[in-house]
Structure 1
């Protein structure tokens, strides 16, 4: 835990604006590196400059290797820590019922979103149309082995013959299996396993810190990877990148402007126009800041302005910030997984698509508090059995255009984090129609907000939901 005290209400907007500026600068640097890498790769290809090709390839390989060694510990610790974080749903019966309904709606909307992502990926086939990238021979041999045998053999291969071999051999799918078993066991043991969970949380924090350092090198790594791709394939590589951007935007826009309005109208009995009128400021801020966490004060106040009981809004919206990510944890992993598979010429089976769905529906919940696009994409690629080299290379390539993708993903995340509390509040009688139908000014970050007082019979709900 950081020794720095949390920002006060006055300091928070300043901190968030500073973070948004840094995100913007880093995003611009990454995009510049992408363009420069493409230019250098094109020069290397047209001038047959082998030394430049070798340099770009080595830069990209080093960056990929740095990412690759974090995959196994990241996946294991994220799952173990995430499963144990589900204890927050303990408490009184009212809080448990509200928590259960909230999580059920999180899972339902994630299922819809991931199915849309898969449909867009299969129809649009992003990443196809050029000669497949070729990983190392060892990785090719692994992929060939996994493509053989029946489904029972695949299931048998998931279970390791000892605890440590998956970590040593980079068998990420087996690591996922072990993490689930260990996570459930530690959850069942409760306080007895608390020291073990604490160690895993510390390891996860260490890996996150290391990843933060590695990600700072992303512009350099992207330059090398994109440069190598353009040096090998020339302008052919432009089409796959644009196809990924288009697929992610189409999928998230469908969720944002079709799925949520339908649910709001027919389940929540809320006008979609009223919803977007009151939520637009939060969605704009999410799009620009690319951070659900930074948007949290706006998201929570928007839910209150839509009539959600403040106590429940204070429980559901923060929970959604770490677990409800239809853009980052459902649409995007589905599309990006298909994109990466197409890049490497890997044909996904029916059961691998089932794995993508399961990770989207249960993965964000199983990694509550640790979820982000990087963790969810890594977990998805791992669950369907792709080797660490393919995972790291694929993630590094998509990182080059991540600033473009992240804006729309985050806006979709935030819209879902506001929509679900509205739906649950309606079903529980915690939605104030008078507040909902009263035009209010957009909530201002850091400004004083006047909240409706909870009804007398709702005081217990507010108290328990805030636990």
Structure 2
């Protein structure tokens, strides 16, 4: 949120981003429900192998809304209960939505404070850069862990149980494919962006999201795609991409829950997360890179020459001449972006200052 201080019309950009996040999420949910109703994955599952059980409790809208209110400054919750041996065991948990609300409030306050908050914001940015570097190291070996999780799922439930859920997995991937290959390019075209350039530009992030199964872990690559390949100003991308990594998840929080809601009406308790996580995370990061490009385009701060530039090995070359002769510098592998990537157009440079 604090990065919005680097762009003009920050409030309009933030509101537009939220609206586009909500719009694409709504479309994804509708598609997920339609796919589930048409394919009926629960009907094709083998009841004898699933041995489902009803959930212990059901959620409600009131519970969801009250859950948004942070219980403390950090949104942490501590629960204590007797363990297997009779001794008391304490667990620390946190609500991601509460954490987002707290972070948003702090970011808005920092922007309102102005220069007095600069040291705090610089510290946060430095800490984020360090964390992103560590996360990048972890992401590089994530495919090994993914393979292990899939193997563990098969070993725990057996091929017969996993096979009975095949239709559910197929339904999820059909929904993901419709959003990725139809909805996203259509939105790009409607906003004057090349669908072909979108696919070639977003591929590094989609690929990393598929193998890492983590939107947060893929965030450095997603931000690199948004700035280097799509020409989104760095100041705006530094807000939109991290915010999207925690709130805009068309795969995890739209397609998958919609189809799962229909499926679990009959069966419960089978964990196939590693398999579907790969596809839905790839969709998550693809949308997280697209929306900043659309919003930047609509607000006149997108570097169109960079968006239209040819990609080599997944990214725009290190130096590309933008409108007005400004040289754009590609970012490092950890997502940090050179000063030239603020935007090639006059509006983009003004917004990034």
TM-score by length of 2: 0.65
Partner residue, 1:115:
30
- Partners in 1 of 2:152 and 2:278 — Cα distance? 21
Partner residue, 2:143:
none
Partner residue, 2:319:
none
- Partners in 1 of 2:258 and 2:174 — Cα distance? 13
Displacement of 1:198:
2.3
Which has the higher relative contact order, 1 or 2, with Cα contacts under 8 A spaced 6 or more apart? Answer: 1
- Partners in 2 of 1:238 and 1:428 — Cα distance? 47
Displacement of 1:223:
7.5
Which has the larger strand fraction? 2
**In 2 relative to 1, CA 134–203 (structure 1 residues): closer, same or farther, beyond 3 Å?**
same
**In 2 relative to 1, CA 122–90 (structure 1 residues): closer, same or farther, beyond 3 Å?**
farther
Selected match of 1:452 from 341, 345, 350: 341
CA contact (8 A) 1:126 1:240 kept: no
Partner residue, 1:329:
253
- Partners in 2 of 1:303 and 1:449 — Cα distance? 10
Partner residue, 1:246:
170
Aligned-CA RMSD value = 3.6
Q: How many residues align?
A: 267
Deviations 1:201-228 (A, max 9, x none): 344991369xxxxxxxx9999689736x
Pairing 1:180–2:65 present: yes
**In 2 relative to 1, CA 219–434 (structure 1 residues): closer, same or farther, beyond 3 Å?**
closer
Pairing 1:201–2:76 present: yes
Partner residue, 1:414:
285
CA contact (8 A) 1:90 1:96 kept: no
Partner residue, 2:213:
290
Deviations 1:37-59 (A, max 9, x none): xxxxxxxxxxxxxxxxxxxxxxx
Displacement of 1:182:
6.5
Displacement of 1:440:
4.0
Displacement of 1:200:
4.0
Unaligned runs of 5+ in 1: 1-85, 141-169, 187-193, 210-217, 344-393
Partner residue, 2:122:
none
- Partners in 2 of 1:256 and 1:263 — Cα distance? 11
- Partners in 2 of 1:203 and 1:173 — Cα distance? 20
Deviations 1:271-303 (A, max 9, x none): 111111122122111111111112111111111
CA contact (8 A) 1:312 1:462 kept: yes
Deviations 1:322-357 (A, max 9, x none): 0110000000011112111132xxxxxxxxxxxxxx
Partner residue, 1:105:
20
Selected match of 1:303 from 226, 230, 233: 226
Q: Which has the larger radius of gyration?
A: 1
SS across alignment from 1:207: strand
**In 2 relative to 1, CA 225–122 (structure 1 residues): closer, same or farther, beyond 3 Å?**
farther
- Partners in 2 of 1:326 and 1:127 — Cα distance? 22
SS across alignment from 1:452: helix
Unaligned runs of 5+ in 2: 80-90, 96-148, 316-331
**In 2 relative to 1, CA 414–448 (structure 1 residues): closer, same or farther, beyond 3 Å?**
closer
- Partners in 2 of 1:220 and 1:437 — Cα distance? 41
Write out the 4+ residue segments of structure 1 that deviate beyond 6 Å after TM superposition.
86-93, 132-136, 218-221
Partner residue, 2:193:
270
- Partners in 2 of 1:449 and 1:257 — Cα distance? 28
CA contact (8 A) 1:98 1:424 kept: yes
Displacement of 1:410:
0.7
**In 2 relative to 1, CA 225–97 (structure 1 residues): closer, same or farther, beyond 3 Å?**
same
- Partners in 1 of 2:206 and 2:74 — Cα distance? 37
Deviations 1:228-249 (A, max 9, x none): xx9xxxx5x5553001110011
